[in-house]
Chain A
Amino acid sequence: EIVLTQSPGTLSLSPGERATLSCRASQSVSSRYLAWYQRKPGQAPRLLIFGASLRATGIPDRFSGSGSGTDFTLTISRLEPEDFAEYYCQQYGSSPWTFGQGTKVEIK
């Protein structure tokens, strides 16, 4: 199965700053089948990005995804207070679908 490794584990930033989250796959993810989710405490995950770079419905354009092959990135251009949360990547190009272990974006 494809193992996804997210880095860093924790990102400490201030509101207004840019956040860059990395997701590296142990094998190439076919057809850019890579998604990103946001998760806040006590809530279910929310889909942000699918197809590596396509924003889900209702997701602000400060969230963007990029990458291909084994290296993917989620960028939050300017952090809003509500963006401090955990973020997970997930690949769905090769069964079984697998998730990364998450990156926590915390207020500095």
Chain B
Amino acid sequence: EVQLLDSGGGLVQPGGSLRVSCAASGFHFITYAMSWVRQAPGRGLEWVSAISVNSGSSTYYADSVKGRFTISRDNSKNTLFLQMHSLRVEDTAVYYCVTDRGGYFDHWGRGALVTVSS
């Protein structure tokens, strides 16, 4: 059974940094592209970032986070990361780790809540 366990959310001040993680199991992690999708309170779903299979040599970002967020993967630990810097109030959201099947997402984590507030 595919499982994605998001963790690392929390409260951070504007301008601060935070890293969310996703522990994957039940599938061959290295062969899957992965993405992060977020949902801010009262707002819709927003794709945030994607990383390619294997070494993750290709990464992609939404314009809203480009230059501030970095996606990475550790295949030896079946873990996906999203490092977030220069956080803004508008980055407050639940962040979901998802398996990326070429742009659509067939498995979702339970989400990690990131709150950016002073």
Main secondary structure of the interface of A (DSSP, over half): loop
B96 on the A face (CB < 8 A): yes
Is the CB–CB distance between A45 and B104 below 8 Å?
no
A-B contact pairs, 19 of them (CB 8 A): A33-B103, A35-B104, A35-B105, A44-B96, A44-B108, A44-B109, A44-B111, A45-B105, A47-B104, A47-B107, A90-B104, A92-B104, A95-B60, A96-B47, A97-B103, A99-B45, A99-B46, A100-B44, A102-B44
B interface list, Cβ under 8 A from A: 44-47, 60, 62-63, 96, 101-111
Cβ-Cβ contact count across A and B, 8 Å cutoff: 47
Most buried by B among A33, A44, A93: A44
Nearest neighbor of B101 in chain A, beta-carbon distance:
A50
A98 on the B face (CB < 8 A): yes
Size bin of chain A's contact surface: 20 to 34
* Interface of chain A residues 65 through 108 with chain B (CB within 8 A): 88, 90, 92-93, 95-102
Minimum distance in angstroms from B52 CB to a CB of chain A: 14
| A21, B115: Cα distance in complex, Å | 33
